[in-house]
Structure formats: structure tokens, C-alpha cells
Amino acid sequence: MGLMTTRLQEAADGLAALAPGRVLTDDAALAAYSHDEAEWAPFVPPLAVVLARSTEEVAAVVRWAAERGVRVVPRGAGTGLSGGANSIQNSIVVSLELMQQVFEVNVDERYARTQPGVINNALRDHVAAFGLWYPPDPASSAISTIGGNAATNAGGICCVKYGVTRDYVLGMTVVLASGEIVSLGRATAKGVTGYDLTGLLVGSEGTLGIITEVTVKLLPLAGRDERAVIGYFPSLEAAGVAVAAISRAGIVPAALELIDQACLRAVDDWQQLGLPGNVDTLLLAKIDERGAAGDELADRVAAIFETAGGTDVERATDPEEISRLFLARRLAYPALERLGPVLTEDICVPRSAVPEMLHRIQQTAALQNVTIANIAHAGDGNLHPLIIAPVGDEAAKARAKVAFDRIVEDCLALGGTVTGEHGVGLLKLDGARRELGGAVIRMHRSIKDALDPQGTLNPGKAF
């Protein structure tokens, strides 16, 4: 038997005793679990995949791996866009996808305690039945897990007003690299005991611990009155000017999303939603203040759209019409993926720099002769230029990579950050190192060494 086959067999036998019937070692499963949605990031098939069911089981598997020098890659739904869940040399993947129980919804204290494999939308639906709302809504809310959202500090569409995942995670149960189980954080409205280790774990991309339970803060569901303002712009820059002006005016919309023509076309060709095909750029704002105050804000947003060159500025108050428009935004990424491998950018620039950054992105597309489509959580300055290379065109792929690096450079030059919400994973390692610099990288290294001295948990990711 070859060395590799022996290791595979050892892993299968050892792990099967810890998670009976839930250890996958067939080629198809190893391939399916070897990477997330970041097609361009490297990966190596894992030795095995464990579909964990409980905190204790995760702890036993981590201990097993640590004792053998095997690395552990935690995984939620694998919808990540930076290669964070990609398996690496000599690793096993621990999937949390079967841990789908919501343990508790506390209406009086407004929190929920849940397992990590619960899908974001499922948690939102679950708590809605109690009159409560979990705001963070990544565009992947129908497919990504709460554990993955916490591990990446996911943002989303309403985050411009309501904040990102970190603003809602109160506490968690975590399996450390030693296999020890710890409980972090609190379930109270306030609390400052000790270092904010919950905050540290949020966005740690599986490198410091495996989150096996999360307590999230909830808001009351009622009390918002949604209306959308839609504007059609003659160019990306014009839409960018409107975004900067809304911020300067002190208006905080509940969403401010940008979708360009390439994305609108791709979505409509796929789903026939009746979207306009001849529009250069669409801005979609949501205002959710109640009554006259909300109407007045919507008027101000519409006026800003028009001043920036927006035409046919429309309102929508019908909830179905609003969800159809936002569905187009949610479908933009999968629609583009149908056209070829997509290299997804995730930069975040100051809102005042959005027009300039959008201009530079177009320059880069022209210079590198690549197709770049754009969607953005524009109200946060969080832009997703999507670089598309035709299948099998290696030269275009190489140019796409150059464009990717150029966009990162421009973003840093404009005072931005290399990842607004997807995480560093593997795709943004160079950019993160440049942004953070030597001393801060050493702080990261010290924290990693203190919590995971053997480098068991997702080594080589995040910084």
C-alpha cells in the first residue's frame, strides 16, 4: 500500500470510530468538499470529510487530528468567496452542515442560541415566528450558514444601516486547537468581562477555533416600513457620485446596492425577471423609516439620484416588487458564474472614493482587456468587481489575475481595505499582508501561536 493510501485508510478508520457513518472518503466527496466558491484559489483534496453532529464530536475529531499532526479545515456551506474553506495538504475537512438545531429563542432578552450549520435564512424565518429579526443578510443568505457567517464576519445588503455579523454575535461555544471546549461571550445586553474573545473569533476564518454554537442578538421584527427608490444611471461613475452624495447628506439607507448592465443582463437571461436591458447602471436604495419620515428620506434619495444624472427615478412600495428587485441583486453572482469562471473582488473604499474607484476599475478592465462586471454594497463602499474569463482561455485568466492585483493596489491607494466582507482566505493573502504591514502581521502570528501552536486549524489562511 502507498503512503498516501495508508494515511487515507488510517484517517478513515480512526475517524469512523468518532463519527460513525459520517466520515466520507470516496473521491467524489473529497472533490466536492475540497474547495469553496473561490474557483481560483488553490486546494488539495482532504484525507477525509467528517460531517460532525455535536460540539463533543468536533472536539474529539480535533484532538484526533492534533495528535497525528493532521490539519483541520472547518467548513459551513462552502459558499465562501476567498478560499477560506479550501482543503490543504494533509488535512481533514470538518463540516458543520448537519448541526442545524436552533436551541433557544429568548423573546424577553431578544437573542437566539443556535448550532452553526443553520442556514442564515432558516434562522431568520425561525426567529420571525417569534416577532424577532436577525438583520445580517449576505446575498448568500439562502445558502450560507450562521457559523460560516460568524467565521467570516459576513456583511450583506442591509448592513449599511444595521451592521455586520460581528455586531450581532454575543457569544459562542468554540472548540480550540487543543480539543478543549470553551464558552465565550455572554447573553446579556452589555458585558465587558475580559478581552473580547468573541469579537476575535468572529472573522477569524476558522484559524483560531471551530464555532459549534452561536448566540446572536435579535431586533424586533415590526416597526419598519419598506420602500425602494430605483435610479438608472448613464455610467458607473454617475452612480458612484450618487452614492457619495447620499453619504455626505447624512442619509443612512437600509440598503444601497449597485448592479451594472452586465449583471442585469446575466440575471435576466437566466431568470427572465423583466429587468431593463438597456441601462448602464442601476442603483437600488431601501428606506425603512416609518410613515412621513420615511417618505421624506425617499424624496431626498430620489432628488440626489436625479442630481447625479439618474433618470426614470421610481419608487416601489409593493413588497413583492421590492423583493423582485433585490432578488436580481442576489442572483447577480450565480448568473455571472454561468458565463465562465469568476474572480471575485471584495474591496471596500471610503464612500467618497466610490466614483474614483469605479472609474479605475473600468480603466483596468480596458487596460487588461478583460470583462469586469460590477455589483456592490455601494452604500458601504464595498465593491465587487467580478472579473470573468472565458472557460479554457488561460491568457485571459492570467490577465484577470493582473487586473485583480491592480484593483487591490488602487483600493489601497484610495484608503480602502482589501476585503470588505468575504475574508482573506487564500485569495487576498498578498493584499492583506500589504495592508496590515509587518508589526500587525506579527500580532496576528502571536495570537495564532498562542491559541494554535501546532498550526492545526486552517493554517496558511487569513493573514
Binding residues for ligand FAD (CB under 6 A): 36-37, 73-81, 84-85, 96, 116, 138-140, 144-145, 147-149, 151-152, 154-156, 205-206, 210-211, 333-334, 421-422, 458, 461
The grid coordinates listed for 85 are 474553506
- Give the containing element (helix H, strand E) for 51: strand 48-51
State which residue, 62 or 238, has the beta carbon closest to ligand FAD. Answer: 62
State which residue, 74 or 135, has the beta carbon closest to ligand FAD. Answer: 74
CA atoms within 13 A on the CB side of 372: 30
Pairing of strands 210-217, 169-175: antiparallel
Please state the closest distance from residue 49 (CB atom) to ligand FAD, in A: 12
State which residue, 73 or 361, has the beta carbon closest to ligand FAD. Answer: 73
Pairing of strands 219-220, 227-233: unpaired
Please state the closest distance from residue 403 (CB atom) to ligand FAD, in A: 20
Please state the closest distance from residue 116 (CB atom) to ligand FAD, in A: 4
Rounded distance between C-alpha atoms, residue 402 and residue 395, angstroms = 11
The grid coordinates listed for 9 are 485508510
Place of cell 490577465: 399
What b/e readout covers 436-457, taking b as 16+ CB neighbours within 10 angstroms?
A: beeeeeeebeeebeebbeeebb
Please state the closest distance from residue 424 (CB atom) to ligand FAD, in A: 9
State which residue, 14 or 148, has the beta carbon closest to ligand FAD. Answer: 148
Place of cell 458585558: 191
Please state the closest distance from residue 425 (CB atom) to ligand FAD, in A: 6
Question: How many beta carbons lie within 10 A of that of residue 433, not counting itself?
Answer: 16
State which residue, 91 or 247, has the beta carbon closest to ligand FAD. Answer: 91
Which own/partner pairs from 13-18 qualify as long-range (CB within 8 Å, at least 24 positions apart)? 14/64, 14/68, 15/48, 15/50, 15/61, 15/64, 15/92, 18/50, 18/57, 18/60, 18/61, 18/64
State which residue, 148 or 294, has the beta carbon closest to ligand FAD. Answer: 148
State which residue, 154 or 230, has the beta carbon closest to ligand FAD. Answer: 154
State which residue, 169 or 302, has the beta carbon closest to ligand FAD. Answer: 169
State which residue, 173 or 247, has the beta carbon closest to ligand FAD. Answer: 173
* Beta bridge partner(s), residue 342: 388
Rounded distance between C-alpha atoms, residue 137 and residue 157, angstroms = 6
Rounded distance between C-alpha atoms, residue 104 and residue 111, angstroms = 8
Please state the closest distance from residue 164 (CB atom) to ligand FAD, in A: 8
Rounded distance between C-alpha atoms, residue 244 and residue 354, angstroms = 7
Distance in Å from the first CA to the final CA of the chain: 37
Please state the closest distance from residue 216 (CB atom) to ligand FAD, in A: 13
Please state the closest distance from residue 205 (CB atom) to ligand FAD, in A: 4
State which residue, 110 or 461, has the beta carbon closest to ligand FAD. Answer: 461
Burial class (CB in 10 A: 0-12, 13-18, 19+), 165: buried
Please state the closest distance from residue 445 (CB atom) to ligand FAD, in A: 18
Please state the closest distance from residue 97 (CB atom) to ligand FAD, in A: 8
CA atoms within 13 A on the CB side of 205: 27
Single-letter residue type at 448? K
Please state the closest distance from residue 182 (CB atom) to ligand FAD, in A: 13
CA 38 to chain CA mean position, Å: 12
State which residue, 85 or 279, has the beta carbon closest to ligand FAD. Answer: 85
State which residue, 210 or 275, has the beta carbon closest to ligand FAD. Answer: 210
Rounded distance between C-alpha atoms, residue 88 and residue 357, angstroms = 34
How many residues are there in the chain? 463
Please state the closest distance from residue 247 (CB atom) to ligand FAD, in A: 19
